[in-house]
Amino acid sequence: MSSVLRSDDKVTPLRTPERALVEFRGVEKRFFVDGSWNVAVEGVNLSIVQGQVVTLVGPSGCGKSTLLNMAAGMFRPSTGRVLYRAEDVVALNTRVGYMTQQDHLLPWRTVFNNIALPLEIKGLSRAAREQRVQELVHLVGLDGFERYYPSQVSGGMKKRCALARLLAYDPETLLMDEPFGALDAQMRLSLQVELLRISQQLGKTVLFVTHDLDEAIALAHRCVVFQGRPGHIADVIDVDLPVERDLVGLRFDTRYVQLTQQLWRLMAPEMAASATGGKQS
């Protein structure tokens, strides 16, 4: 049986336990909105070990993005601590790459030049840049759209462009806020495969916000379940699936099905009862 872990439990079945890379300790964040304090998240304890893919799942407005923002150092928690490599995050955290919900592409740059941006900042030569960008363009399936401006391509393409830009800049930790939301099923699957491959091969740590419960299990080493409001961690599901995953075959894996059902039950107890009943028959 899957163990429903408390967030501060040390068990990480996939890798030898190391010191936490990203750690939230008793984090609460309040925002001052229209003359009153609004608590976005409270009582969050969570530590993420290097190389782990952790998905954050839960309804809209339960503070998942707020946690990513704090990990990126956009703002500090109202109480508690946010640590990165055992140090408080007090300024912008340049070790993380952030793929936000809005793509934030630069409208005056073509798809190609948007992806090249982080490489320019790093000071790569033109030739090296072009080669790397071409690889990434191919990876996210934007071949033939290199010279288009963001205003000329679809929402899904913009997302892919933003993903390629994130990968171009190759940060230690990837913060991803619903990155695959606007994509079609095939593209989503191929990018999920790619994300898992990158995280495994390069040991990238990933914090991945999603609304998609299947995705939340399929990608995760651990799946953190949020409930609102104010947002808090309701549960942490330890996803004891093999590290090497076949994301297509996974759909028929009994353990995977069990875990997704568990998540469905947590997220929507009433609906899950009927839904899982149908699946099991």
Partner 1 sequence: MKLSVGTVYFWRITLVVVFLAVWQFSSGRLVSPLFISAPMNVMSRLWDLAASGKLVYHASYTAFHALAGFALGALAGTALGVILGRLQWLAHILDPFLMGFYSLPKIALAPLFILWFGVGTEMKVLFVALIVFLLVFLNTYTGVRQVSREQVTILRLMQASEAQILRKVVLPSAITWMFAGLRLSVPYALIGAIMGEMLASNRGLGYVLSDATAQFDTAGAFAGLVAIIAMAVVFNATVRVAERLVMPWKGVESERELSF
Give the interface with partner 1 as residue ranges (CB under 8 A): 72, 74, 92-94, 96-98, 100, 102, 104, 106-109, 117-118, 120-122, 149, 151-152, 169, 171
Choose between 117 and 234: whose C-beta lies nearer to partner 1: 117
Choose between 116 and 217: whose C-beta lies nearer to partner 1: 116
Minimum separation from the CB atom of position 203 to partner 1 (A): 20
Helix-, strand-, coil-residue percentages of the chain, each rounded to 5: 40, 25, 35
**Rounded CA separation 164/118 (Å):** 10
| Angle between helical axes of 155-169 and 185-202 (0-180°, round to 10) | 10
Choose between 98 and 208: whose C-beta lies nearer to partner 1: 98
CB atoms within 10 A of CB 181: 16
Q: Which helix (H) or strand (E) holds 82?
A: strand 79-84
Minimum separation from the CB atom of position 15 to partner 1 (A): 26
**Angstrom distances, CA of residue 224 to CA of 27, 72, 161, 220, 227:** 15, 18, 27, 9, 10
Secondary structure of residue 187 in the 3-state scheme? helix
Minimum separation from the CB atom of position 167 to partner 1 (A): 12
Minimum separation from the CB atom of position 67 to partner 1 (A): 16
DSSP 142: -
Choose between 17 and 155: whose C-beta lies nearer to partner 1: 155
Place of tokens 């923002």: 69
Minimum separation from the CB atom of position 91 to partner 1 (A): 9
Q: Which helix (H) or strand (E) holds 227?
A: strand 222-227
Minimum separation from the CB atom of position 110 to partner 1 (A): 8
Residue 76 near residue 66 (C-beta atoms within 8 A): no
Choose between 35 and 107: whose C-beta lies nearer to partner 1: 107
Cβ-proximal residues to 116 (8 Å cutoff; 6+ apart), any chain: 129, 130, 133, 168
**Rounded CA separation 96/206 (Å):** 9
Choose between 93 and 199: whose C-beta lies nearer to partner 1: 93
Minimum separation from the CB atom of position 120 to partner 1 (A): 7
Place of tokens 């500090």: 76
Minimum separation from the CB atom of position 107 to partner 1 (A): 6
